[in-house]
């Protein structure tokens, strides 16, 4: 093998390594722990905006380098149950369920955002589904939007937007 051929192969290998490193750096922008700042729902027809879980919801979103994710979101000022989670009155448990969202699974980055592959969820209907989210990371702020979806409680088409701040 000639020296120029070896240099060409070395340059090619370095180019591939650089492309891989740049891709990994772009992919790693979501990795970490994120704190929920706001969660709004916008009615596609009227433009009406609602704070889904109040002005100051609580929540965390975690993406690992290994491709796993978990999210837990709660309404501000949730009431405590009068007993434990099994024996409290059914109305209290229903209110607690409706003011809390949690799911986990794996994720993959796409050209437009993130696809969550749900493996466990407080909403059993999501287990085994894929949930796509448009995603933008600017500095320490990540904005996640759903595609337009029919949403409760009225079944109207809405876009939900969540804003997170990076904790680590």
CA distance readout (Å), 96 to 33, 76, 143, 168: 24, 12, 26, 29
Q: Note the pLDDT tens digit of each residue in 72-92.
A: 999 999 999 999 989 999 999
Rounded Cα gap, residues 31 and 64, in angstroms: 5
Residue 130: per-residue pLDDT: 98
pTM of the full predicted structure?
0.80
């Amino acid at each position: 093998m000639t020296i120029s051929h070896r240099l060409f192969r070395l340059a090619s290998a370095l180019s591939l390594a650089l492309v891989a490193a740049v891709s990994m750096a772009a992919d790693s922008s979501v990795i970490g722990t994120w704190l929920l700042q706001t969660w709004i729902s916008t009615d596609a027809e009227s433009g009406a905006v609602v704070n889904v879980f109040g002005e100051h919801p609580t929540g965390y979103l975690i993406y690992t380098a290994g491709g796993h994710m978990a999210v837990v979101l709660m309404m501000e000022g949730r009431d405590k149950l009068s007993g434990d989670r099994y024996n409290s009155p059914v109305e209290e448990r229903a209110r607690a369920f409706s003011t809390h969202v949690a799911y986990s699974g794996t994720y993959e980055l796409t050209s437009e955002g993130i696809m969550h592959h749900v493996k466990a969820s407080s909403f059993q209907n999501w287990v085994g589904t894929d949930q796509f989210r448009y995603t933008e990371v600017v500095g320490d702020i990540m904005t996640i939007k759903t595609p337009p979806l029919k949403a409760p409680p009225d079944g109207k088409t809405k876009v939900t937007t969540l804003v997170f701040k990076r904790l680590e």
